[in-house]
Amino acid sequence: MNFKLTTDNLETIKADLEVIIIINKNLEHTFVKDKKSLDKVGFEGSQEEICLLPESKRLYVGSESIKSTDIRSAIAVAIRSLKNTKFKHIKIAIYMSHSKCTAVLRGMVEGMILGDYTFDQYKSKKSKKALKEVTISLEEYHGYKLDQESCQRAINNAKIGANATNYTRDIVNTTPDDCYPAVMAKIAKRLAKKSDLTCTILKPKRLREEKMNTLLAVARASRHTPRVIHLAHKPKNPKAVVSIVGKGLTYDSGGLSLKPADYMVTMKADKSGGSAVMGIMKAVSEMNLPIEVHGFVGAVENMIGGDAYKPDDVLVAKNGKTIEVRNTDAEGRLVLADVLCYAQQEVKADYLFDMATLTGACVVGVGHYTSGVMGNSKMPVDMVLNAANKISGELASKLDFNRYLGKTIKSEIADICNISNTRYGGAITAGMFLSEFIDEEHKDRWAHIDIAGPAFVEHTWGENPHGASGAGVRLMLRLIEKLSRGDKH
């Protein structure tokens, strides 16, 4: 999809279709030229409601507000509705909340790219997309005078962020037989070469030297050996250093604590955190942000077999802590424990984040569409919540640690247990387990993001398709962009 920004008035631009966003059900605005037709079909302009009028060459879509979060999802639904049509070229004007804010324009372009996404790698008949050109006029419906350079920059950043999200979606959607740890490492190497990132791959021999015994235990029964991936973006004189750790379970059978058959379907999505890390690194490099960013991925497959790790085993993590295994399906936290330790060993970061499809309990707690955010300190958690809910359009909710839940992961025979002794508060106890592997230097700089809810949903929602959403990419990119401007909150 090609985007062109022009100073030409909308009326003078030749296109197959004009897309018009109705804000807050305001059908009385002068740019609404089909009031009678819209009234006849009962179009009210509610959020994501669409009405295509091919005779007048106009597509109307409703948005609750002028906020980028609403505009993004509305325009995504509009673009998605055109997939089976023959419209090749659309035109649209700019919508702004005020004259110097390009966030709405960025959200609009992101919505177009995200809404146009299709994953048809395994279809014998590939989808054909007619829409190729989008012309955006600097004509603004409030009459604001806009800076063309700022608007072009917003479009460019939108393209980078949305394409990185779609890149992540592709990795997550790829089947486990086609995307296992060695393949993820190859993807990372290709990305590094193309995006001017440094890339280090740790194979089993090096993992044993690094004493990543919990990660190796999870990987033991798989024919696919594990990898730890380290990607780095290192600009000169960075304003801050950020490390992001991702869970990359290319498939999770549950191990000997085998998942029920229904729960095993979609477990290709257990690599969503690690895939998001690669998408984030892609975007950060392409934007060339003045922040040093390190991405770490623990790529592992959790399978069953004669060499599988077992409930009742006691494992020794990289930092020397012992872990009683009571459930082999609580494997992601074991992988993250070692990778978090390794990340802190390799990089002394100003901010440390981890992203993982860690617990079904988080989905129970906050729903399919929302990530759970937790940590020892208010500052990094608030950074994530702000980047999610106020800027990127991703939804996130805070989950508080407390000492009573902390007691439920105590072990009688080891330092800690990999699951709690209660079925309640599982997302929080998983986060508290991870906090045991955060050193004193990073204790108040770390936040854990459980993306189990939004990472993979089997229906379309907003700007997200059936399947992988690329959760975490836009969120973390916006957070890093704010740091590049010297603003934490």
The single-letter code of the amino acid at 114 is L
Cross-strand pairs, 59: 19, 52
Could you give the CA distance from residue 188 to residue 279 in angstroms, rounded to a whole number? 10
Spatial neighbors of 3 by CB under 8 A, at least 6 apart, are 109, 134, 136, 155, 159
Rounded to 5°, angle at Cα 134 from 165 and 154 = 55
Beta-sheet pairing, 227-233 with 292-302: antiparallel
CA-based torsion, 105, 108, 112, 114: positive or negative: positive
Scan for tokens 């089993």, then name that residue: 204
Neighbours of 195 (CB within 10 A): 18
CA-based torsion, 437, 439, 440, 444: positive or negative: negative
Contact predicate 405/431, CB 8 Å:
no
Contact predicate 418/327, CB 8 Å:
yes
Question: Could you say which of 333, 445, 474, 478 is catalytic?
Answer: 333
The single-letter code of the amino acid at 316 is V
Contact predicate 229/171, CB 8 Å:
no
Any catalytic annotation for residue 259?
A: yes
In angstroms, what CA-CA distances link 165 with 104, 115, 145, 436? Answer: 18, 11, 31, 31
Any catalytic annotation for residue 407?
A: no
Q: Which of 199, 227, 189 is nearest to 294 (CA)?
A: 199
Q: Which of 199, 178, 375 is nearest to 296 (CA)?
A: 199
The 3-state DSSP class for residue 33 equals coil
Question: Could you say which of 57, 153, 189, 259 is catalytic?
Answer: 259
Q: Rg (Cα) of the chain, in Å, rounded?
A: 23
* Residue 90 CA, distance from chain mean position: 28
CA-based torsion, 37, 39, 45, 49: positive or negative: negative
Which positions are catalytic?
259, 333
